[in-house]
Amino acid sequence: PTIQKVLKGIRNTLSKRSMQKEPLLVDQIRAMVEKIPIEKEGKVHLIGIRDRAILLLGFAGAFRRSELVSLDIEDLTFTRDGFVILLR
């Protein structure tokens, strides 16, 4: 246990700080959304529509991945002005 404590202290002292990523800009988000197909073989592509919605929702709400994947349709309340999102 003493050796483990010393090694943990060394790791904490010598470990590198995690580098924060640069945020995406609106133009970059637009370019990503435009690349996601919403039609496939002349038919509506629901997966593409879903992917666009998730990307735009995550950007607009500044949500973390864990917050996005935890959402269910029941967590959305549609209003006249848009919708309200319940984060659990």
Sorting pLDDT into bands at 50, 70 and 90, what band is 13? confident
pLDDT in tens, 18-75: 778 888 999 999 999 999 999 988 999 999 999 999 999 999 999 999 999 999 999 9
For residue 49, count other CB atoms closer than 10 A to its CB.
Answer: 14
Q: How far apart are CA 36 and CA 39, in angstroms?
A: 9
Average pLDDT over the chain, rounded to an integer: 90
Q: What is the pLDDT of residue 49?
A: 95
pLDDT in tens, 61-71: 999 999 999 99
Q: How far apart are CA 67 and CA 81, in angstroms?
A: 22
Q: How far apart are CA 16 and CA 20, in angstroms?
A: 12
